[in-house]
Amino acid sequence: MSGFLDARPRVGYFYTGKDSNQLIKEQVNKKIVKDYKAQPIVISESSSVYDGICTLFLEDVGTLFVVNNMGHLAGVVSRKDLLRAALGKQNLTDIPISIIMTRMPNIITCTAEESLLEAAKKLIDYQIDSLPVVRAVQNGNRTVFEVIGRVTKTTITKGFVEFGNEVTI
């Protein structure tokens, strides 16, 4: 039923010892990244900063994931990175996006199996807006990452709203 009372044959209902704090924690921990992740917006490492800005507006996202020619995660570019680049005097079509991106292995990622709570903590702790959801792949003796989704503060905000609207146990 509610999680507070449990039933045992020949005993009847008994108090499970959980208070509502614990139940809420359990509910929060049940939310898994794979059920909430959005589509990742990726751009090729060989694109220009100008291409990046266009993609950002066209796809209406805050962060782009940069992939190499094998399709593996190479970097992350934020709106602030693009804004900083746009302030310079250079022609934006001449600057490769790979120059301004945050590069592997300095990228904070999450997996589809992680809890949404773990992902939310990473967003806060590392002061970032977006996490690529990745799957590790062996490439010879190196581990590389395929991008299979994104978790942003928007994702978490939607999760929060869901709590207030309807929670199913």
Contact set with its own copies (CB under 8 A): 1-5, 15, 18-21, 23-25, 27-29, 53, 56-57, 60, 62, 79-80, 82-84, 86-87, 92, 115-117, 120-121, 123-124, 127, 129, 152-154, 156-161, 163-169
Nearest-approach distance from CB 71 to its own copies, in angstroms: 27
Question: In angstroms, rounded to a whole number, what is the distance separating the alpha carbons of residues 70 and 86?
Answer: 28
Nearest-approach distance from CB 74 to its own copies, in angstroms: 22
Nearest-approach distance from CB 33 to its own copies, in angstroms: 13
User: Residue-wise over 65-88: b if at least 16 C-beta within 10 A, else e?
Assistant: bbbeeeebbbbbbbeebbeebeee
CB 38 within 8 A of CB 152: yes
Question: In angstroms, rounded to a whole number, what is the distance separating the alpha carbons of residues 150 and 169?
Answer: 26
Nearest-approach distance from CB 158 to its own copies, in angstroms: 6
Q: 85 in helix, strand or coil?
A: helix
Name the β-bridge partners of 32: 115
End-to-end CA distance of the chain: 9
CB nearer its own copies, residue 85 or residue 107: 85
CB nearer its own copies, residue 7 or residue 169: 169
CB nearer its own copies, residue 20 or residue 139: 20
CB nearer its own copies, residue 25 or residue 103: 25
